[in-house]
Amino acid sequence: MNDTREMINCPACGQKMHKVFLQSGNCYLDVCVDGCGGIFFDGMELKKFDEKHENIDELKNELLNKEFVKTDDTQIRTCPLCGNKMVKNFVSAKKQIQIDECYNCGAKFFDHGELTKMREEYNNEEERRQDFLSRDYNEFYDMLSALGLQDGETF
Ligand SMILES: [Zn+2]
Ligand SMILES: [Zn+2]
């Protein structure tokens, strides 16, 4: 997906968002510097920055030592790119971070501080994958036990 060039308004507070260029991902992110400090990702941009080792210094500098307005994160937000209603979703296995997602164009919005929190949950993609895998396995195992099937029994 192409990087969006148009200026957008923040889905949380309505301020004009700033374009911040991130060298490591070679793309621009929309950041709500004058408003709530939220970060907007279009399409696949998030993949480039969701791990701790991926460099987001430009983003951190942009948000450093600033006061941000509080927003009501229970409010349904509208995707500034396509106008669809955004859906609240938990992005991490630990279920502590809730972001707004647009199922129409794939955009994601993080309130101030949420991206850093998410990045700190796992050191890398493999750790995250392992965590999800073990969860899936546990659910599968629970399902088998519920059916009265135990390890070693044949179907
Ligand atoms: Zn904002
Ligand atoms: Zn959208």
Count: domains in the chain:
1
Which neighbouring-strand residues pair with 44?
none
Range of the domain at 111: 18-123
For residue 54, the model assigns a pLDDT of 87
pLDDT above 90 covers what percent of the chain?
Answer: 45
pLDDT at residue 1 is higher than 50: no
Mean pLDDT over each residue of the chain, to the nearest integer = 84
Question: Buried (b) or exposed (e) across 62-92, using 16+ Cβ within 10 A?
Answer: bbeeeebeebebeeebebbbeeeebeeeebb
Residue 132 lies in a domain: no
**Distance in angstroms (rounded) separating the CA atoms of residues 5 and 17:** 12
Residue 53 lies in a domain: yes
Distance from Cα 99 to the centre of ligand 1, integer Å:
13
Give the closest ligand to the alpha carbon of residue 17.
1
Q: Where residue 138 falls among pLDDT bands split at 50, 70, 90?
A: low
Residue 130 lies in a domain: no
Reference 106, options 76, 142, 81, 143; nearest CA is 81
Cβ contacts of 41 within 8 Å, gap of 6 or more = 29, 49, 107, 108, 109, 110
Give the closest ligand to the alpha carbon of residue 112.
1
Give the closest ligand to the alpha carbon of residue 103.
2
Distance from Cα 65 to the centre of ligand 1, integer Å:
16
Q: Give whole-number Cα distances, 79 to 120, 126, 143, 146, in Å.
A: 26, 31, 37, 41
**Distance in angstroms (rounded) separating the CA atoms of residues 93 and 135:** 9
Reference 30, options 48, 5, 47; nearest CA is 5
Distance from Cα 37 to the centre of ligand 1, integer Å:
6
Residue 152 lies in a domain: no
Q: Where residue 129 falls among pLDDT bands split at 50, 70, 90?
A: confident
Residue 34 lies in a domain: yes
Which neighbouring-strand residues pair with 3?
none
Distance from Cα 148 to the centre of ligand 1, integer Å:
52
Q: What pLDDT digit, counting tens, does each position of 25-62 carry? A: 888 999 999 999 999 998 878 888 888 888 999 999 99
